[in-house]
Amino acid sequence: MSDLTALADEYYTYAHGLSPLDLMWEGRLEHLAEWNDVSVEGRAAAHERLMEFARDAAAIDVGDDLQALALRDTIATHARSAALHLAWEPELLHLNPTMGAWETILSFVDAFPLATAAHGEDYLTKLRRLPRFLDDLLDVAEDAAAEGRIALERHLLDTARSAESYLRSAHAGDDRMLAQAPPTAMDDAAQAEWVRERDRVVEAVVHEGVARFADRLRRLADGGAPDERPGLVHLPGGAAVYRDRMWSHLQLDLTPEEVHELGLAQVARLEDEYREMAGPLLGTDDITEIYARLRDDDALRYTTAEDIVRDAEAALARAEEAAPAWFAVMPRARCTGHATDFGAMAYYSAPVPSSGKEGAFYFKTSDPHAWATYELEAIAYHEAIPGHHLQLALHAENEDLHVVQREMFSTAYAEGWGLYTERLADEMGLYTSDLSRVGMLSADSLRACRLVVDTGIHALGWSREQAIEYCLAHSPLDRHHIEQEVDRYIGLPGQALAYMIGRLEILAIRAEAQRRPGFDIREFHSAVLGYGGVPLTTLRRIVLG
């Protein structure tokens, strides 16, 4: 075990620093002054070192020690996944308008719990280095374009427009980059000086860099890929890269064709549930009409951000009260809801016990009408309680786990749990109406369609419009929401598969466990959440023996 622990310590130190962008999601203070090394040379070196970690971990014999098994397998699979994920990341993912680097920066630039003067200086250094990072991204993207590998024209333009919109707001007196609070341990005079320097750096350095970023994106977009060819399959070597991306998120050996067929079957099963659950509410069993009514009825749309905040906070309160009956251990950290104007429609940021940061559920309220009233509860349960907050907060607080297990995870395990808890919330009686339960189906439709559409785009050659039209025909989601989703799949190949694949595997493990005498749901949940972010194959062994 000592060799494994030493390897885990070394791996954590190395892997933790590879993506300061990812650390922004959690407001982490480590590597605060840094940005990702997106250069070809940097990524090649990282790939080689990560694969070495994967081989070294896999070679360690852990016997029947489940904690050691979980740690070993987490290192081996996480390292391989991280290595496979590096291919084509800067030119595709980082320039995506939905999940890219620029949106991450806008979403989390003010999320750091700065305390000391050193924290404050690191943050100012980060701002000073931002233009260089954006330049590096475009250097890689321009070189990749010369090799025939380029993001969609519309995505490059949308990211440019977002940068330009930021600059317009900044010049009008509403500068997102000035939102970070000064370090708390500084006295008033030092805080005031820090704020003056922050403002000077943003105005004198950051604005110029962002303007250059937008200009270069627009020039790059002149040769951007058309909407008819958004998938990896259209790029030289893209089919193999997609298989690697699938594995990096699922850590299961599934082909695109297998996943595509699984998605078609899930969509068909869901449509039977809609007829049974939504049909009586809407007075029809015609699936097309059911989808249309759920999509188009303005009475089922939010009109104010205040209503979204109210309902999200109420859902969190109900879930927090009910959870102890279903979970033997509850996290010490609270989960709080936060309205935001940036990033995805909803997302979660885990607590950081070392800094006292709580768990945070973010929901985008800049366009209230984009939210259907019936869908908010399912999303809240997925992102917060009993979903990602119970999962990631319990990991973060479990001192029996190595930090690798607490912070590094399989996408299919993490997102599979989130989707599992949307149905678990129904078992827990958390949905406040039959219509909100239909929202649970709507969320399932999105994840089932993802299996079809992600593989359709990246393996079968679907166009962007073909993917949008499929989702419109097989879910109640509105076109605007679907377009955002499809644009995410284009920029982040394979990730969207993890939700439904992970949920189905967790349900299969639970079904087998329930066939055994003495099954207890609280013990089952403790086993699933008790070993960190393990790959699903390891989870099966842990729970079932």
Burial per residue of 53-79, b for 16 or more beta-carbon CB atoms within 10 angstroms, e otherwise: bbebbeeeebeeebbbbbbbbbbbbbb
Model confidence over 425-470: pLDDT tens digits?
Answer: 999 999 999 999 999 999 999 999 999 999 999 999 999 999 999 9
Rounded alpha-carbon distances, angstroms, from residue 74 to 187, 199, 525: 43, 42, 19
Q: Per the structure block, which two tokens stand in for 12?
A: 């954590």
Instruction: List pLDDT tens digits, range 335-370.
Output: 998 998 876 788 888 888 888 888 999 989 999 998
What pLDDT band is residue 403 in, cutting at 50, 70 and 90?
very high
The CA distance from 319 to 89, in Å, is: 37
DSSP-based three-state secondary structure for 179: coil
Instruction: Judge if the upstream peptide bond of residue 331 is cis by omega within 30 degrees of 0.
Output: no
Burial of 47 (0-12, 13-18, 19+ CB in 10 A): middle
Computed over every residue of the chain, the mean pLDDT equals 95
Using alpha carbons, select from 69, 83, 81, 82 the residue that is nearest to residue 4.
Answer: 69
d(CA 190, CA 209): 27
pLDDT of 263 strictly over 90: yes
Please, which residues bridge with residue 360 across strands? 336, 349
Q: Which two tokens stand for residue 481?
A: 């929401």
For 477-493, what is each residue's pLDDT tens digit? 989 889 999 999 999 99
For the segment 324-334, the average pLDDT, to the nearest whole number, is: 96
Q: 130: helix, coil or strand?
A: helix
Q: Which two tokens stand for residue 21?
A: 């962008």
pLDDT tens digits, residue range 129-145?
999 999 999 999 999 99
Per-residue pLDDT, averaged over 406-413, amounts to 92
User: For residue 26, what pLDDT is reported?
Assistant: 79
The order of strands in the sheet holding 359-364 is 335-340, 359-364, 346-349
Of 310, 370, 373, the closest CA to residue 339 belongs to 310
Q: Which of 280, 278, 304 is nearest to 291 (CA)?
A: 278
Query: Is there a contact between 124 and 201 (Cβ–Cβ < 8 Å)?
Result: yes
- Cβ(152)–Cβ(490) below 8 Å: yes
Instruction: Answer for the pair 527, 62: CB distance below 8 angstroms, yes or no.
Output: no
Condensed to tens digits (0 to 9), the pLDDT of residues 265-311 reads: 999 999 999 999 999 999 999 999 999 999 999 999 999 999 999 99
Distance (Å, whole) CA 403 – CA 400: 9
The reported pLDDT for the residue numbered 473 is 97
Structure tokens, 532 = 């960190």
The per-residue pLDDT for 524 is 98
At 1, is the pLDDT very low, low, confident or very high (cuts 50, 70, 90)?
A: low
Give the per-residue pLDDT at 411.
94
